[in-house]
Chains A and B, each alone.
Chain A
C-alpha cells in the first residue's frame, strides 16, 4: 500500500519493544489465548445486555444487567491490550492487510455505538427508567452492536487468510 505505511511498519518493527515481543517465543501464543479469552467475556456481557434490550431476559432489571458491564470492559481491555501487542510485534502483518482495516472499521462502529449508549443512557439504565426512550432506538443500537461485534470477529479471523497475519 502506501510507502509511508511500509516505512512506519519497518520503523516500528525495529524498535526495541517490537523486537522484545518477537524474542520471547511463548509470548505470542499466550497473548492469543488472552485475546480469545477477552473476546469471550466481552461477547458474553455485550450479547447478554443486547438481548435484554431486544426483549429477552425481561425479568432482569436493566440496572442489574448493567452491573456486568465492567466485566465486559475488562474483556475488551484484555483483547485490546493483546491486540496492540500483536500490532507492535509484527506491524508488517497488518499495515497492508485489508482484513485489518475492515476489523478496525467495525471496531470503531461497535465502540462508538457502545460509548454513545453509555453517554446517553447510562443514568437512565441505572435508574431502571428507559421507558421514555423510544424502544426502536434501543433495539437499533442492540442490533448494531451484535452485527458490528460479529464482523470484528469475522475480520479478525480473516487476518491470516485475506492477508499475511497469523
Chain B
C-alpha cells in the first residue's frame, strides 16, 4: 500500500502538481476544490434550509433543479480531490482524519440521495415528512463535519 501511495506521489502528474510552483498547478486545483465545495454545499444548504422550514414560501418542486448543480460541484471536487490526493498521497493516504473526511462525504452523498428519493420520489407531488427534515438536519451537520475535517487536514 505504502509503495502504491509513494508511486502515486512520485508520478509525473503528482510531482508537477506539487512542485511546479506554477499558479496553474496546486493553487488552481485547490481553488477549484474550494469552488466545488461552495457549489455543492451551498446548493445543498439551500434545499436543507427549505426542508427545515426556513423560507417556507419557496415552492419545493422547482428546487429539484438544485440536484444537477450539486452533482456538478460533487464531480468537480471528486476530480480535484483525486488530484490533490495524488500530489500528497503518502501523507493523506496514511492520515486518519482524511479517512474520516472520506467517510463523512460518503454519508453526505447517501443522505442527498435519500432526500431526493423521499422528497421528490412520488410522481407529481412533493412532501416534507419528518424524516426528510431529519435528513436535512443531518445533511447540514455532515457538510459542516466535512468542512471541519478538510480544513483540519491542513494542520496535520
Pick the contact of A40 from B30, B143, B155 — CB < 8 Å?
A: B143
**In contact, B144 and A37 (Cβ under 8 angstroms):** yes
**Contact between chains at A48 and B151 (CB < 8 Å):** no
Question: Given the complex, which residues of A lie within 8 Å of B30, measured CB to CB?
Answer: 157
Q: Which residues of chain B from 8 to 43 have any CB-CB distance to chain A below 8 Å in the complex?
A: 23, 26-27, 30-31, 34-35, 37-39, 41-43
Interface of B is mostly: helix
How many residue pairs bridge A and B at CB < 8 Å? Answer: 104
Q: Is the CB of A68 within 8 A of B147?
A: no
Residues of A within 8 A of B144 (CB): 33, 37
**Contact A60-B54, Cβ < 8 Å, known A36-B37, A36-B147, A40-B147:** no
B151-A150 in contact (CB<8A): no
CB-CB < 8 A to B62: which residues of A?
Answer: 57-60
Give the interface size bracket for B toward A: 35 or more
B57 interface residue (CB < 8 Å to A): yes
Interface string of A141-166 (1 = CB under 8 A from B): 00000000010011011100110001
Binding site for B on A (CB under 8 A): 29, 32-33, 36-37, 39-45, 47-48, 56-61, 63-65, 67-68, 71, 150, 153-154, 156-158, 161-162, 166
Contact A44 B57 (CB under 8 A): no
User: Smallest CB-CB separation from A29: which chain B residue?
Assistant: B155
Q: Are the C-beta atoms of A47 and B35 separated by less than 8 Å?
A: no
Q: B residues touching A (Cβ–Cβ < 8 Å)?
A: 23, 26-27, 30-31, 34-35, 37-39, 41-46, 49, 54-55, 57-59, 61-63, 65-66, 143-144, 147-148, 150-152, 154-155
B45: which of A36, A41, A156 is its contact (CB, 8 Å)?
Answer: A41
Identify the 10 closest CB pairs spanning chains A and B, nearest first: A44-B42, A43-B38, A64-B57, A40-B41, A43-B42, A59-B62, A161-B27, A67-B55, A157-B31, A44-B45
Q: Which residue of B lies closest to A58 (CB)?
A: B62
Report the minimal beta-carbon distance from A14 to chain B, rounded to whole angstroms: 25
Rounded to whole angstroms, the CA-CA distance of A43 and B30 in the bound complex is: 17
Rounded to whole angstroms, the CA-CA distance of A48 and B49 in the bound complex is 13
Tell me the complex Cα distance, A44–B63, Å: 13
Let me know if B151 and A29 touch, CB within 8 A.
yes
- Within 8 Å CB of A41, what residues of B? 42, 45
Chain B residues positioned under 8 Å from A57 (CB to CB)? 62-63, 65
Contact of B43 (CB < 8 Å), options: A44, A65, A162? A44
* Cβ B42 vs Cβ A64 within 8 A: no
Given contacts A29-B151, A67-B54, A157-B34, 5 further A-B pairs with CB under 8 A are: A29-B154, A40-B38, A60-B58, A68-B49, A158-B27
